[in-house]
Structure 1
């Protein structure tokens, strides 16, 4: 899948250059000829999907036609006039194949070139020295596909480090990820959901275990409609060579982070089995300042906070699985995972409190030690069965996915005077259990070469239960005593049943796909102390449309629409009060409505010599917009919650350029610009906030020698508005060096993150009778080293057994 756009780039180049340099074809005779063939990988004999086939006239070397191969490696070029031709078959990472002496005649109008085998050109396989380079980003009609191996700065990091260099994605300096300005998106791992919040899930996946990342901003009806801004699908590595092979990575940095992972695989003609293990400890430290103003009548209370903050993330786990071909048309896959995650945060803050007009009652200098730890242990299992009715893509697939886990949170906040006298002690614990069962059936029926029908059913059965206990310190003894009035427990169940249908077709140079998904949601939330549970029984429809227009010189325009939903997370709804620290308290809002999103996109792709350019325009409207809110709770204590604030509108453009400036210098430049408007009513008052948001990235890759590459990246994210204030912009840059050793069996990567220490998170929040200014600056730069060893010629499988990269892959461009 990652090769798709790379292959299209080659085809665009050949067609564009020839079209610009040559006269139109002048071949006499009726255009009834047809050229067909099959393209396979020379090493593994597997089909090469999206290989480019460009056909030229021998009479004047003008381009006659071109196409790309389908999932079986098959290609077809029709409406050919009689005459002599030659063809080039090209695919990034493979040597170009020239097929000469092709002749179409009235007596033999159909020519079958048979099997064309491409020789590899991008790796060291079975002792053969191969030179080449894979592209960082591949564009498909409905997604962008990111290749982590090409992003040197992500080596030894996580999925978040990969996404720092990805179009449509923004990452702040605390590792929080947003997709087109929204933190509400869905994360899938190999097409299956994760129980974690999106940013937490991405920060626990090692970059070295990822084959590619799919960015899907307007998913088709086959996908779950959850997520304001779309889906990020993580495709993990699997081996494609027969026999035993594997890969081991170890890493460490100057802030105390360290870790490693390994994967070993066995494969033959019937069976593919793998076992993987990972352990990674991440460390993030920095400095925080916060200024709060709380106004009461004619008095303003000031609270100034300054201190150091540290944090760590532990992720460890083991996974295993097998794929077995029962027959040529029946495949069964079984895999499982056991994981442990822990998130720890600690800080020591100096507080200065005073009032204007001055009053000694509000004057205080204190120190607060805040410590929290959250752990989540979970396990999951999946079984999938696929039956192929024939070789034209007619198939049915059924799967069951089960995952369950336990969580344990503990928080301790102690506030003391400068001489160590305890002024306040707060401790809370929260223990929870969760379970998620998904049953899914997908059916694909190709009506003809140009038309395809898909349909499916899915059930999502989710449940959670949590117990919360709150303690305060006895200031005379230091003993922590439970406060029953703050204790709470909650139980949450949500069952979603869905059906969908899609129809895809082709007319002339237009490809299209229509989809409709219907979902029934049954949700019950019970909370201690409430007489009646909070319930939802609702049926929703989610239409989708994807269309592509083929332009001259193989340029392409695509248009899409999708309706989506963002359902409130469980802890957004919990109606009880819980203390965050001495100055912040939090409560959920069980009356929250889900967000409904209408998303429109218009895109353009073009290819030039050794480069390509893409341009995307988008408009997204979110109804029942949910935002985090802050109000005064009591004195200088702030209440944090969630509200439906109204409607927001995002209208913007994204552009990307990738090209070789010289033989040794490749540049990737991306930029985005969009207008953001949010308006509605909050706490009885109407509001309207607008901002012009912009940002960009530059990634420079320098090929120093056959075994040495260097990468220099820079990223800027501009300021943006919120319902209660604004976020300031920031910039940072990274430098990486990759050196291959021991006949390319081992790789050493050295990195420097945030070279100039410019990354920071700054926000202003305004409200009636209060004001906040927050700044967090991480400790930088950070130096990291990663060592990778491949044994027995490990090669990642670049597509799954059925030719798709993950669950719900849209095949509109197969025609």
Structure 2
């Protein structure tokens, strides 16, 4: 019944296109300086005779607006947008049934914004809308030569830990969009393949509306990439090279750092074409210190196996992207894109273990063994995909958009554990290998329709998405051992995911109040087939996802926002795969084919204040999470821990985030963002059939700061710091993590060329930067590992721009395969 109800609502929205209309006025609101469209600008039409308000509308993502059902007469138009001077169009004379196009209505930036532009030569660094905050990527100089993660980690709601894990308001699950297109992949993987130099803006959508996929408990991050000049040819090129860090961890080889990217854009008449390619080699040196013990209450033995040694990464990726947009007329737009790329990672962990077995009661030493474990884990992924989009605009300014995407990815790798004697490391005690192949194919189809009704806009749509994965996993031990469950370590795991969804939402403005409210219905089916299990593991879900966002404009400086949305954190295939992998000598890792997705209720509210030299926002938020997905430990054997995925009963987060963008002086700008929240997880945990209870909570805070100094017309200095405090987990705590950076920039050739010297991970021998300790414990085990990464790294980035780019480029990105890398 729910599905039929939403199908009816969807087609009710579509049927509005057939309704008869009176006179109408259409147009588009743009920035007078650069011609960029202004979304969510307020447009109102008044009678000329008495200046009474007749109708109003809010512009869409392309700045377009439509005012319909107007009677014949004389009118004038007023356009308002935060940070811009009001725009007026007078002398509008309408006749019965006339559809008058005003073309582009240009707005000049207000004095506060103009002052900032005059000083920096760039657009505002931060802007706030009813459903999102937008951050200009170019303000973060330390990200130059890096990837999109290096930009993203500076946002006030975002933090990154020592493992590279990204969280939004403390949640590791969030949906990534590339130019509005969903990327149902692991965020760290997909963003690491996108050069920072290609990113124009980042939109943070913490309370998404119903038109977006409900994936991700942390909300949505939309990456807007750069595009060519308004008309003509634009070329952007960057090269990066770096030195090994000044700290020595005794690694076998020095890390290599170099890369480059090139983007060529051409726009002329009806065509807009973008081609880009990049190669990045960015190794990481490091070290780890671990301490573990397990208790065997049956035999009365406690086994300790502290360890230390190298933990380094060799990493590279390369990719090519191409897109083309063809606009034969003002009513039709065709666009297509293609992507092909490769990513490789080799993690080397050469660890020395000192194992002892002692009497659990007396502490008397029973046995002692020292051995060396050389652990090499390789992962490779070859990705290719294509997308095709079509948009049709009708006479009543309604739009119909159809989108299709297909991806094929070939993922494969191996984990090899070699236990060697010590100090005689020529003697091989045991070798364990876990090779695998994991191909994945997926596709998505979307159909969206929007039409202006009354003083607002009704949007409705349907989406179908499907992905399948056929993983083959093997297990070899030499010399062979007597392991009763060895067959469980090899086999195949086939996963199928299919989601049908429909949505409808209405947005508009009533005097000072802007609003967006909608509802989404989804039917999702998941099947996991295992080679050793005759019965497939199935899960069917039917759910509603409501959302509402409000923004009230108190005056020209003050506004306040509030929002609510229901979200889902889906399981990925890695979390569902129960075939164990010997990730380390001391660790097995496996998933659960019956793992449940998490359901999240998000609510937030807070004010935004704009003043002459900047802006500030404060947002209070609350999250309630049902079935939070956790990675926890249990004891597999005396010297091996089993790391598994499971569901806890519930978790909740409440917190406060704030950010400000200031310009205290013409030569000094400051960006500061902070987040503090209280996280609690509680309830029962089922770990491989064994039940336990968890109840852990604590306060967590993070701070991201970025400050820039203009040292002249061509020189600038920037410093930034990212800090994340200690935070609770289901079985323990992750320690704090600190990363400070500094960059010095010099521009040449009227700004078309720039050289940036970066000092990353500043530490100066204080041993405070790039370190993180992860601790977990249970009734019969305790483990703590301190990960130490390289510090004081120097990079040089050179960039060149011919016709400085700006705006959106619809270059595609991996949608499915990256998630399983």
TM-score, normalised with respect to structure 1: 0.83
Aligned partner of 1:761 among 766, 772, 779 = 772
**Residues in 1 aligned to 2:723 and 2:518: alpha-carbon distance in whole angstroms:** 37
1:607 and 2:610 aligned: yes
Q: CA deviation at 1:433?
A: 1.0
Q: CA deviation at 1:120?
A: 10
Q: CA deviation at 1:754?
A: 1.4
Alignment of 1:758-797 (within 5 A): 758-791=769-802, 793-797=803-807
Q: How far does the alpha carbon of each residue in 1:293-348 deviate from its partner, in whole angstroms, 9 at most, with x for none?
A: 11123432111110111103221111111100122100110111111111211121
Structure 1 counterpart of 2:232, from 223, 243, 251: 243
Whether the aligned pair in 2 keeps the contact of 1:52 and 1:91 (CA below 8 Å) is no
2:358/2:366 contact within 8 Å kept: no
Question: Which residue number corresponds to residue 304 of structure 2?
Answer: 302
1:407 maps to 411
Residues 1:383 and 2:385 aligned together: no
**SS of residue in 2 equivalent to 1:715:** strand
Structure 1 403/554 Cα, relative in aligned 2: closer, same or farther at 3 Å? same
**2:442 is the alignment partner of 1:436:** yes
CA displacement, residues 93-128 of structure 1 (integer Å, 9 cap, x when unaligned): xxx989999999xxxxxxx9997767999xxxxxxx
- Cα distance change on mapping 1:678 and 1:387 into 2, 3 Å: same
- Aligned partner of 1:24 in structure 2 is none
Q: Counterparts in 2 of 1:164-183, with a 5 A limit?
A: 164-183=153-172
Check 1:101–1:505 CA distance in 2 against 1; reply closer, same or farther (3 A cut): closer
Map of 1:462-541 to 2, 5 A cutoff? 462-474=467-479, 486-541=489-544
Shift of 1:389: 0.9
Report the Cα offset of residue 374 of structure 1.
0.5
Partner of 1:367: 372
Gapped runs of 5+ residues in structure 2? 1-24, 45-55, 68-77, 93-100, 111-117, 245-255, 816-821
Matches within 5 A, 1:139-178: 139-178=128-167
Structure 1 residue 692 displacement after superposition: 0.9
- Structure 1 residue 457 and structure 2 residue 462: aligned? yes
Deviation of 1:47 after TM superposition, in Å, equals: 5.0
Counterpart Cα distance in 2 of 1:356 and 1:237: 62
Aligned residue number for residue 14 of structure 2? none
Question: Per the alignment, do residues 673 and 779 of structure 1 end up closer, same or farther by CA in structure 2, a change over 3 Å counting?
Answer: same
d(CA) in 2 for partners of 1:91, 1:721: 40
Aligned partner of residue 468 in structure 2, secondary structure: strand
In structure 1, stretches of 5+ residues that fail to align are 1-34, 55-65, 77-86, 105-111, 122-128, 477-481, 802-806, 808-815
Partners of 1:204 and 1:115 lie apart in 2 by: 37
DSSP 3-state at the match of 1:552: coil
Encode CA deviations 1:246-285: one digit per residue, 9 max, x unaligned.
1111101113211111111111121111211111111112
Q: 1:446 aligns with which of 426, 449, 452?
A: 452
Q: Which moved more, 1:484-493 or 1:615-624?
A: 484-493
CA 1:137 to 1:39, structure 2 compared with 1: closer, same or farther past 3 Å?
closer
* Aligned-partner Cα distance in 2 for 1:114–1:483: 71
CA shift, 1:133, in A, is 3.1
Three-state SS of the structure 1 residue aligned to 2:151 is helix
Pick closer, same or farther for the CA change 1:426–1:552 going to 2, 3 Å.
same
Asked if 2 retains the 8 angstrom alpha-carbon contact of 1:423 and 1:475, the reply is: no
Matched, 1:201 2:205: no
Q: 1:344·1:374 contact (CA, 8 Å) conserved in 2?
A: yes
Q: Distance in 1 between matches of 2:677 and 2:756?
A: 36
Length, aligned pairs only: 724
Distance 1:100 1:457 in 2: 38
Call closer, same or farther: CA 1:362–1:195 in 2, change over 3 Å. farther
From the superposition, tell whether residues 779 and 114 of structure 1 become closer, same or farther in structure 2 (CA, over 3 Å): closer
Q: Is the 8 A contact 1:353 1:363 kept in 2?
A: yes
TM-aligned CA deviation for residue 216 of structure 1: 1.5
Q: How far is 1:542 from its partner?
A: 0.7
Q: Which has the higher contact order (CA 8 A, sep 6+)?
A: 2
Aligned counterpart, 1:61: none
| 8 Å CA contact 1:51, 1:73 repeated in 2 | no
For 2:494 and 2:479, locate their aligned partners in 1 and report how far apart those are by CA, in whole Å: 31
* C-alpha RMSD of matched pairs (Å): 3.3
Give the C-alpha shift of residue 42 in structure 1.
5.8
Cα distance in 2, alignment partners of residues 389 and 405 from structure 1: 38
Structure 2 distance, partners of 1:120, 1:795, is 20
In structure 1, the residue corresponding to 2:284 is in which secondary structure?
A: strand
Q: Is the 8 A contact 2:274 2:809 kept in 1?
A: no
Aligned counterpart in structure 2 of residue 749 of structure 1, from 749, 752, 756: 756
Distance 1:120 1:503, change over 3 A: closer
Q: 2:741 aligns with which of 729, 734, 751?
A: 734
